Structure 1
């Protein structure tokens, strides 16, 4: 961004973008339990931190301004495009919106939202019948909704890396892992051997390549 158009200090824009993505997550995830709300709350904190730097105050760029200016003299360290740090780190002189990192971020973010939505439908149907969710995304992952949140956060980090979200990301991933383990203990207590058999057959967060090939083949 150049001219008289400000690159940062756009706090209303930051609030609107954060609100939109949090609302999207809420509508896709539809939290009902305290665990659900903790999951959504952690995701919301990540999103707020992200957009606060993207449009409000560029803390990461401010702290790295000297390094960026000395290593990439053609790049304005406090311009909006500089916030897409990955192309600069790789020395690519290109529109950052067309970089592989930015394009891949859309795949992660879109895929994460679709995974959360698809998993919620299966889980809601199973819960209404008092049964164990094992179809749809649950046929390939035991925790597709947590995996979806992880995909979205990783996608945002690929698009706009910051020091704050970089520190938050591993903490939140561990938090989701702990929530998933807590959830598993409750489900195992409710369904016993049926859940243990399911857990042995289906991985927790990363689908087996064979299951993806089977899905694409028919």
Structure 2
């Protein structure tokens, strides 16, 4: 059930493949009745059931998307600030010390949680079938990656990690810290550079989203990705 070593090393490429496939949604191209984004499809359903007007529905769904994308970006930014952008970008698992600071006092996997929440937010711009498939595949992959790390960390740290695992939930964050702080200081600037893409997309949805132009927003995702690749070139090299 857990991710293999190869899957872990290629996790960024696998994420990219899932996103590209689900945005493209080639299986829906010939179906004239399903050539709409999840945004339009869900707005139409809310309107047809007389819950909201179509415009109200598009507003509500955009607000929901902004919330998920921004929350996901925050968890990734927060987690990366403590673990380090070089470790986040590494293709190998690391365990020099048992991290017990920042979001790791509330959830064991803030980065994976952030990715999942972020995916829910941007899925609004996908074809509705692509959105459903993307959320499912990303959730399954995050879960399998987390399981792989748990086995690695249990072997690395033994009883202290098992105790940490029993106290702190795997994904759903606790409302307050569950373990004492280890006193580690966050590196916010490095984290912001490393998680630039997620932050940029959340800002994009919150600003350009009100144009209700899905094509423009998808282009914005690509521009944000390009800018992130440039910023990433100046970050510390991953610890492989």
TM-score, scaled relative to structure 1: 0.62
Pairing 1:85–2:54 present? no
Instruction: Using the TM superposition, give the Cα deviation of residue 164 of structure 1 relative to its aligned residue in structure 2, in angstroms.
Output: 2.7
Partner of 1:107: 67
The correspondence of residues 182-201 of structure 1 with structure 2, limited to 5 A, is 182-201=148-167
Pairing 1:119–2:91 present? no
Counterpart contact for 1:113–1:148, Cα < 8 Å:
yes
The correspondence of residues 68-79 of structure 1 with structure 2, limited to 5 A, is none
Partner of 2:28: 59
TM-score, scaled relative to structure 2: 0.57
Q: Select between 150-159 and 138-147 the one with higher mean Cα deviation.
A: 150-159
Distance 2:38 2:68 in 1: 22
Distance 2:81 2:171 in 1: 18
Instruction: Using the TM superposition, give the Cα deviation of residue 170 of structure 1 relative to its aligned residue in structure 2, in angstroms.
Output: 1.6
Map Cα deviations across residues 3-53 of structure 1 (whole Å, 9 max, x no partner): xxxxxxxxxxxxxxxxxxxxxxxxxxxxxx966553322332233234436
Counterpart contact for 1:141–1:206, Cα < 8 Å:
yes
Task: Decide which of 130, 134, 139 is 1:173's aligned counterpart.
Answer: 139
RMSD: 3.4
Provide closer, same or farther for how the CA distance between residues 154 and 207 of structure 1 changes in structure 2, counting only shifts above 3 A. same
Distance 1:81 1:189 in 2: 45
Instruction: Using the TM superposition, give the Cα deviation of residue 156 of structure 1 relative to its aligned residue in structure 2, in angstroms.
Output: 2.0
Task: Decide which of 21, 38, 47 is 2:10's aligned counterpart.
Answer: 38
Task: Give the number of equivalent residue pairs.
Answer: 164
The correspondence of residues 132-143 of structure 1 with structure 2, limited to 5 A, is 132-143=98-109
Provide closer, same or farther for how the CA distance between residues 43 and 84 of structure 1 changes in structure 2, counting only shifts above 3 A. farther
Task: Decide which of 108, 122, 128 is 1:156's aligned counterpart.
Answer: 122
Q: Tell which has more relative contact order, 1 or 2 (C-alpha 8 A, sep 6+).
A: 2
Greater C-alpha radius of gyration:
1
Q: What residue ranges of structure 2 are gaps of 5+ in the alignment?
A: 88-93, 179-240
Instruction: Using the TM superposition, give the Cα deviation of residue 192 of structure 1 relative to its aligned residue in structure 2, in angstroms.
Output: 0.9
Map Cα deviations across residues 40-93 of structure 1 (whole Å, 9 max, x no partner): 22332233234436xxx7937x6361xxxxxxxxxxx76x77852111011143
Provide closer, same or farther for how the CA distance between residues 134 and 90 of structure 1 changes in structure 2, counting only shifts above 3 A. same
Distance 1:109 1:172 in 2: 14
Q: What residue ranges of structure 1 are gaps of 5+ in the alignment?
A: 1-32, 66-76, 213-218
